[in-house]
Structure 1
């Protein structure tokens, strides 16, 4: 469910290709080459190029083609590998084959490993003129669906150190999945205790809100009673989000509908009051 509280947050649209410089026989500094060899000692057919500020090695390990990114200090930041559908973890294959895109044609599969972040498997599928990228975690969870993706390519994602420290302190067991930013807002998608959460920061890297979806069975009875005694008691519940806000407010946001009417009803979890009702656009 998309709430009006974070409606300005959308996926970073600048998946545009980095400026690139490649020449035959180019080799970066020794510290970078040594870091690459230490990480991939069995790599063959290695070719180097510069993409933006990163040193990028294209190489093969066995029958696998891959691309590894290093910063100028020799720190590894990301590797993208081409993999076959058959080589995917069984839980991902099962998730795909039982999902809504099972009958679509698989065009390509990439494995994306990133420093300090969850490994992703991206399955590119198409049906006629439609094209979709499905992003899976290693446990088979589908975390993102990207429609009609253009300017294909992946690049290292970074976040301010203060943001990283905040997440580690507030959600010490969490793993980072994605980093998106737009219009002065930074959204960090994490997996925390098996829950997918969006942690949002403002342009000053100050925490604003954390939100995640919940089931109706997880909503406290006293909160449900507020909805049941409101003007929206007879509306059907379509979706529910829970939000932790920086001002100390914790709220449940119900997406409800009746006929052609769709409304977001926000209930304060502490005061048990309806604090806003917003028509869905």
Structure 2
């Protein structure tokens, strides 16, 4: 899908010079403040598509046999601003089914993810890949809103580096909202257990600037190309499995109650 290359407003010569100076500060800081331990490389998420331990408690008054717990597993590819990265696998667990009044109900369960290294690190240059101090990783986190009937959910993206404070996040105050559109029909891979594959994407979301990143906030946003109102893309190739609540193991049912 073609990405817009239009110039972003407000990119004055003064701002460009400031941004370049900020990158130089990053490199200089790394030279004298190298961490004792190198930044850990991303590793695969431990939760599997067959793990129902995150199934949430059901609303009062609903029929467990008509509610199912779904576990999604996906490795999305994200283009956000100037950065494109294949995110480490994530899992999302939620429950859905009919409410006593006949409406559609959903209950959020949990999300698991691990960091993914951003090519070029903090500087966007080979030095960012070679130096542990200049390394940068991104980790998606649940943003507090989800609707799996319509494909809408929100995420925050935590930015991790030895030179950044822990709270440095894209979407810290207003999470990134996604409205996934299916790329084609779902495919059933297995009947027992049920496993369904699907692909979806969103090329309309807006990516806000990174926040709470300390003195490097400005240079970091320049390096990432944030905020970005156009040219962003999330592709979401996933599988999911499910069990109705009357099929969950007895130990899980007791925990839910």
TM-score by length of 1: 0.24
Greater relative contact order (Cα 8 A, min sep 6): structure 1 or 2? 2
Bigger radius of gyration? 1
Higher strand share: 1
TM-score (norm. length: structure 2): 0.25
